[in-house]
Structure formats: C-alpha cells, structure tokens
Structure 1
C-alpha cells in the first residue's frame, strides 16, 4: 500500500485528502491546527504533530499551502518535511508559489536524493473532494509517470508542461488571467449599475454571452446582487498574492503585463480593505473609484 503524507488542510487540502483516502492509500496528514483535520481523520487518515513526522517513511509527500513563506516553513524549516523524508521519495508541491521559490525548493529536494514534482492545480474545493482537479505538472516525464496513480486519485486531468517550474509558470499566467477577467467583470457590472440597467437582465445577459466562462458565471450574480461568500474558496488576499508572483515572473521574462498590473493594483486595494474576503468584493473597490 502506498504511504502518502499530505501537508496543509485548507479547503483544497481537505478535498485532496478525502480523494486520496477513497483510493485506499495509507495517508498521514499535518496542518497547523488539528481542528481542520476532523473530517479527514474521521475518514481514516492518521495525524502527525509536525511536517517532519508526517513525512517519515512516506513514499509521496504532497503539500497544499498558501504561499512561499508557508511552504518554506513546512518543507525547509525546523521540523520541516525535508528533515525526515527518505531518499527516493516524491516531493509533490501543489501550492501556487513563485517560480524563484519553486526553483529553490526543488534544488533542496533533489540535493537530498528526492524526486520533485512541480504540480500546482486548478479547480475549486468541491472538485478536489470529488477527485476532479486539473494538475499542471512540471517534471521529468518518467518521474511524473511514476507517481500517476497518486496524482490520478485527486484529478481528472494532468497537463505536462515540461521541466520543473513549467507547471508553475502556466499556473501563475492563468491566475493572472483570472485576476484580469474578474476585474473586467466587476468593472462591467459596476458600469451597468451606474447606468441604471436592470440587475437581473444584466446577470442573465452576461451569463449567456460570448464573454461568459465558468469563472464569469460563478461571479456574475454574486457581484451584481452583492451576495459575497462568507467562507470563500478564493480570497482577495490569495488573488493578490498569485498576481504578484505572476507579475514577478513576467518581469523576469522581460514582458510588460499591463492589464495584469492594473488588475493586481485593484486586488491589492481589495486586500487592504477586505483582507481574506471573497475576491468578488473587488467590485466595491471599482465602484468607490467611480463615485
């Protein structure tokens, strides 16, 4: 039986854990607070007090964390997973991180005789729990193939972009596109409101328009009716973080991401005023700038 460790039990991590458990794997989990582990432990996972203890004897160690700082603490810090993980094991980093940090972490893992899989994901928490995420992989092909049974337990599709870091490059690009799209949607809805257009007609028209996408459909009614989620799957803070990582990536490539820069500024302001709230609330920042 495959021995798997999962580090991080936020909404996405919990969903991934439940999908892994359904595959019959032996799963040990760690999180900063044990309170979030309840559903996963009830489903059969074992608890570890530190990342290092979780990683002991694991064949595959998966992380789903918030940012570079959290990942560095969990992998590289005191009681970090790299302190105990056995040579030849797989480090599968599913968090959305900066490219510079991914390169640093992968080098540290490889130096310890580990296999590093750059594997950010796309999808919402319900998709994680249903085993329907899309994985954006950066790894050697034969190494990726070796861990497919684990990855397929929580995904419906695996896109291989090339070497380590290539999955992260794509993930940052698509999340920056998401920031631009959400900001553009918010601006359009705010303009319609300013013009006095009927809210329900606007919602129905946007959702059936050529500009509609799953993301647009998910956010249109929430923005137009001001029904922001109290427990959102993606927050202003996370969107701003991802956008900043993407802009740094673009800058290093000598690329001027002008639309992304404007959207990032709006999410920076949203993060200041509405920290860790539903990212759809960026519409209030746009409205405030047009009063």
Structure 2
C-alpha cells in the first residue's frame, strides 16, 4: 500500500519511518525538502509539492504544525486541492481547531475527494513505535480503507463521527495534559522549596493514585533540566489556546486552563518554545524567583 505524508516535523518523520519499517511505500513532502533525505535513504520517495504527493497516492496524510500550516498545504499553489479528486482521500493528523478542520473538509469534498481528520494523542516515542492514539472523524469509508495504515501508526483508533469531533477531542486531551504538566511543575518547586527531595516526590507519586506515564516519563529528565523535545512547548501552548477558544464557543469557564496557558506563554517568552513542553518547569521556577 502506497501512502503520502505531508510534513516531516518530529511527528511526521517518526510516522513515516514507522510506515516504511512496516512495509508501506511512502511518498513524502516537506516545505524544506532536505528534511526528506533521511527517509529517502530508508526507501521513501519525494513529491516536489503536496499536489504531486496526492497525484501519486490514493491516500495522503498531513501532519502539520498548526492551523495556518494545515490550511496552506491544502489551499495554496501546489496544494492538495490541485490533485484531489474522486477516488482519493486526504487524512489530516494535525492538531487544529474544528473550524480549520471543517474548511479543509469542505475544500477536499468540493473536488470530489474524501476527508478524515485524525489528530493523534502521543509524542515522538509512541509515533516511532506505532503506539499513538488516533482520534478520527469524517468519512467512515475512508477510515475503513485507511485502517491498515492506522493500525501501524497507532495502538488504537477511535471513530468519533462528524468532522470537528476529532479536533475537539484532541484539544480537550492536550488541554488536560498541559494543565497536569503545569501543576506537576508547581509541585516539584513546592517540594524543593519546602526542603523535600524532589526525587523522593517522584517515587511517592509513582506509587500513588496520580501515577501516570506522563509523570514517570518526564519527571527525571525535568530534574536534570533535560528538555529534548518530544512535543514542543510552543505547540502545547497553541493547543491550550485553541481549547480555550472552544471553551469560549460553548460558554465554559476554564480558569485552570487559562492559568496554565499564561504559564506556557511565560515559558515561550523565556525562549523555551522549541524545547519539550515539560520545560514549563523552568517558567514555574522563574515565576517563583520573581515573587
């Protein structure tokens, strides 16, 4: 099965490599084409534009950084819409707001193509090992057709109905994750300032009700100031911002998420946007020094 993949950031590259390892033929594109070189060495071919990838493949995936990038690869010159047509499907795995997903869906279907949104829950390591959680919505027939690839990309796929539901679910999940990371960072600072050993705190948490892969996986690296990016902080802040927008639309008060967003914005102002989202710990520490 030959599939296309647009966007070779941390996630797109990992997903492409995983597909190649599992026997898929993969056609890749990235705005900076040199990022395709490593994948070519492992058997991928390159499309010079998103349109060229769509022309070569029956199913094309997109994994872009944010709503403007997701819209650009579809609607700009050389974009998906130039070659999408009946018999071809586009699956957008980017984390975007429901309105962006709806615009892309309308564009694709207006050309006779079929669309599925499929944002994923998980970061670099799960993407490399096919352990992502995939939150799909849109055309059920495309979901069924893409199942072989989805089963390689993720450990579980959910079909959530109409376009927009996948985007909403992903924003809720990432909003919760950002709030947890912010609270965890405050707890680490509080423990240390209270004279406690933060490493012992990690052990206590791991044995209790709040034990989680997130805390277990990120805590030791955070205490070593190791923020090698699996999920860049700037994207986490973007997702909380989009979730707050969803809250506005539904008249939902979200004071905890709003406070977490301010801390992640502070982290970005400190130049930490390209580091792992756990680097919000540095912003929490900085806020304590200022107080």
Common fold: TM-score over 0.5: yes
| CA spacing shift, 1:194–1:78, aligned 2, 3 Å | same
Is 2:259 the partner of 1:258?
Answer: no
Aligned residues: 288
Match of 2:41 in 1: 42
The 5 A counterparts of 1:1-291 are 2-223=1-222, 225-229=223-227, 231-273=228-270, 274-291=272-289
Cα shift at 1:233: 1.1
Cα shift at 1:78: 1.3
Distance 1:86 1:277 in 2: 39
Please list the CA deviations of residues 197-255 of structure 1 after superposition, one character each: whole Å capped at 9, or x if unmatched.
123212211222211211111222223x24222x3111221110111111111111111
Distance 1:23 1:236 in 2: 30
The question of whether the paired residues in 1 share the 8 Å contact of 2:50 and 2:79 is answered with yes
Please list the CA deviations of residues 76-97 of structure 1 after superposition, one character each: whole Å capped at 9, or x if unmatched.
1111121122322111000101
| CA spacing shift, 1:88–1:73, aligned 2, 3 Å | same
Distance 1:133 1:49 in 2: 28
Cα shift at 1:58: 1.5
Deviates more, 1:170-179 or 1:190-199: 190-199
Q: TM-score, normalising length from structure 1? A: 0.94
Distance 1:262 1:4 in 2: 41
Deviates more, 1:121-130 or 1:181-190: 121-130
Please list the CA deviations of residues 48-95 of structure 1 after superposition, one character each: whole Å capped at 9, or x if unmatched.
121111111320010011001111111111111211223221110001
2:211 counterpart SS class: coil
1:56 counterpart SS class: helix
Cα shift at 1:186: 0.3
2:105 counterpart SS class: helix
The question of whether the paired residues in 2 share the 8 Å contact of 1:131 and 1:156 is answered with yes
Cα shift at 1:138: 0.8
The question of whether the paired residues in 1 share the 8 Å contact of 2:15 and 2:153 is answered with yes
Cα shift at 1:30: 0.3
Q: Please report the RMSD computed on the Cα atoms of aligned residues, expressed in angstroms.
A: 1.5
| CA spacing shift, 1:185–1:115, aligned 2, 3 Å | same
The question of whether the paired residues in 2 share the 8 Å contact of 1:136 and 1:158 is answered with yes
Gapped regions of structure 1 (runs ≥ 5): none
Gapped regions of structure 2 (runs ≥ 5): none
Cα shift at 1:275: 2.4
